[in-house]
Each structure stands twice: as C-alpha cells, then as structure tokens.
C-alpha cells in the first residue's frame, strides 16, 4: 500500500475581526488547484492572545501566516527578522518560516505594484497617491523601491500623512511631497500614475466619491484603485470613460495572495484560479 501523507503544512491568518476576510477561500482554491498539501486556517485572534497564537504556530511548525488588523505592527516583536520593505513600512502582513527563522514581509504594496506593472512600470514615473493609511504607506514604499521618480501624497491634514512622506524621503530614493487635502483637489497635469489608497468608495459606500476635480484626470494617466469591492469604482469608471488605462484592487488582492503562497510553498500559483474564487464569493460578474 502506498504511503499516504496525512500531515498538511499549515498556513493561516490571525486577525480580529476575521469572519469577513475572504483570503482563506482564495488561497485554498489555489492550494487545491495545484495539488499543494497545504491548508489555510482563518483564525480570530485578540491582541491579548497574539503572543500565544504566534507561539502556537511556531510549536506546530506552521509554514507561515498572515496578520491583519490589529496585529500588523505588534506582531513584529515576536519575529526574528523583517524583509526590506516591511522594515521601511514598519508593518507586516505575511510571516514566513524560513528554516526555523520567522521573517515578516509586507505584501500589501507588493501585490499592488505587481498589478500595476501589468499596465505600466512605475520606474521613473510621477505619481499622485490619495491616502496615508496602512495601504498607502505600504504601496508608496514599494513604488519608491520600484524606482518611482516622485510621489505626491494627498491626504486630509494630519500627522500620519506627514510621517508617510518623511519616511519615504528618509528611507527610500524617491522624492515625496505632501499636499494637505483641504478642498477639491486638482491633479497636476504632469502626473503619470494616479492611485486611490483611501477607503473612499469601499462597499457598502459605493457611491462615495473622492473630493477631486475629475476634469483633471487626463487620458494619458494610468488610474489605479486599491478598493477591491466593488472592483469597478466610481473613479475607475470615470477614468475608463476618458480612455485611461486602469488597475483595480481585486488584482492587488489576488497578487498579494500569489506572493504569500510563493513565500510559503515556493510555488508560483495561477492567479486566475484565485480571481474566480474571489469573484464567486464577492458575487462579482
């Protein structure tokens, strides 16, 4: 009788709340499709229990795990090292067991830049980025490390936005400037890539619009949106109608999964399998 291996490698996610995170369905669809003997467990972990959860994953020899809200910064103290961008961003969302060393990576921005590169290479480009939260911070650092020339960060006035720009100028080669967002914003005509990394337009507030002058979007600009639900936001619809090339947040989410699975399994999985799984769950055509 051939030997049957009943012991899968384990991966998963620690977050609170956890129930509405669709990553498990997307990742397990890829595992099944590629016959990978891996599982992904979506776990609700409170801040008080994070240390025990990480120790549990280590004790059980997990291959790695994702961390989401509210653990992306606090998990760092339990790790043995950080990837380059995770160190600059100061937050991790993917932990990899590399020969017994637990290394923190951040795929929030990597997935986005990979999706963007399918349409335009950010190297040498002038970029306008709306938002200064966790997603904007991760995306801007990856764009800077990918060789972007300038990043103009547009956000309502606060210390967090100033810190995002300070961090970019101090720790990456990019030239970053901060434009406080106090009135209807007009995008500079020399901008080549425009990115929405705010939560404006996220389900269920799908009709919410960015406070920008939509006439300042020009057809030669590439427009990207981090919102994955709905994938066609008001911003992207407006941009497409003008003839702009666009990048949606669903691609960003799928690419994050592809990169995470590569870290854990070493295998390049087929993104289309994950796309189909996500669209089915999110009920998207």
Judged by the rule CB under 6 A, the positions of this chain that interact with ligand NDP are: 108, 111, 131-136, 155-156, 158, 160, 197-200, 202, 226-228, 249, 252-253, 256
Which residue lies nearer to ligand NDP by CB, 100 or 162? 162
Give me the catalytic one of 51, 72, 237, 242.
72
Which residue lies nearer to ligand NDP by CB, 212 or 239? 212
Q: What are phi and psi of 267, to 5 degrees?
A: -100, 135
Please give the Cα distance from 186 to 215 (Å, whole number): 8
Q: Is 245 a catalytic residue?
A: no
Which residue lies nearer to ligand NDP by CB, 96 or 254? 254
Q: Are 32 and 8 in contact (CB under 8 A)?
A: no
Please give the Cα distance from 235 to 124 (Å, whole number): 24
**How would you class 204 by CB atoms within 10 Å of its CB: exposed for 0-12, middle for 13-18, buried for 19 or more?**
exposed
Smallest separation, CB 252 to ligand NDP (Å):
4
Which residue lies nearer to ligand NDP by CB, 104 or 226? 226
Which residue lies nearer to ligand NDP by CB, 108 or 192? 108
**How would you class 227 by CB atoms within 10 Å of its CB: exposed for 0-12, middle for 13-18, buried for 19 or more?**
buried
Smallest separation, CB 35 to ligand NDP (Å):
26
Smallest separation, CB 143 to ligand NDP (Å):
14
Considering only CA atoms, which of 147, 185, 172, 178 is closest in space to residue 160? Answer: 178
Residue 7: count of CB within 10 angstroms of its CB: 7
Q: Which helix (H) or strand (E) holds 183?
A: none
Please give the Cα distance from 42 to 44 (Å, whole number): 7
Q: Are 59 and 52 in contact (CB under 8 A)?
A: no
Which residue of this chain has its Cβ atom nearest to ligand NDP in the complex?
Answer: 133
Smallest separation, CB 61 to ligand NDP (Å):
28
Smallest separation, CB 218 to ligand NDP (Å):
22
Which residue lies nearer to ligand NDP by CB, 77 or 182? 182
Q: Are 204 and 235 in contact (CB under 8 A)?
A: no
Smallest separation, CB 198 to ligand NDP (Å):
3
Residue 165: count of CB within 10 angstroms of its CB: 20
3 state SS for 117-174? HCCCCCCCCEEEEECCCHHHHHHHHHHHHCCCCEEEEEECCCHHHHHHHHHHHHHCCC
Active-site amino acid positions: 72
């Amino acid at each position: 009788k051939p030997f049957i291996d009943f012991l899968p490698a384990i991966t998963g996610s620690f977050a609170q709340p956890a129930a509405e995170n669709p990553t498990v369905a997307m990742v397990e669809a890829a595992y099944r499709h590629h016959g990978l003997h891996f599982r992904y467990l979506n776990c609700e972990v409170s801040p008080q229990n994070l240390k025990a959860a990480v120790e549990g994953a280590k004790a059980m020899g997990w291959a790695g795990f994702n961390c989401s809200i509210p653990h992306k910064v606090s998990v760092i103290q339990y790790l043995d090292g950080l990837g380059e961008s995770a160190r600059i961003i100061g937050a991790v969302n993917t932990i990899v067991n590399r020969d017994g060393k637990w290394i923190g990576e951040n795929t929030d921005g990597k997935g986005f830049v990979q999706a963007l590169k399918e349409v335009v290479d950010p190297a040498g480009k002038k970029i306008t980025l709306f938002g200064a939260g966790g997603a904007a911070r991760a995306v801007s650092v990856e764009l800077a490390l990918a060789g972007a020339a300038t990043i103009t960060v547009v956000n309502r006035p606060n210390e967090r936005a100033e810190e995002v720009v300070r961090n970019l100028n101090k720790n990456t080669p990019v030239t970053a400037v901060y434009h406080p967002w106090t009135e209807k914003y007009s995008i500079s005509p020399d901008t080549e890539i425009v990115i929405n990394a705010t939560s404006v337009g996220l389900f269920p507030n799908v009709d919410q619009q960015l406070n920008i002058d939509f006439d300042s979007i020009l057809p030669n600009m590439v427009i990207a949106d981090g919102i994955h639900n709905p994938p066609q936001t008001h911003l992207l619809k407006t941009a497409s109608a003008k003839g702009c090339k666009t990048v949606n947040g669903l691609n960003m989410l799928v690419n994050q999964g592809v990169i995470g699975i590569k870290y854990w399994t070493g295998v390049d999985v087929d993104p289309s399998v994950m796309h189909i799984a996500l669209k089915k769950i999110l009920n998207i055509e």
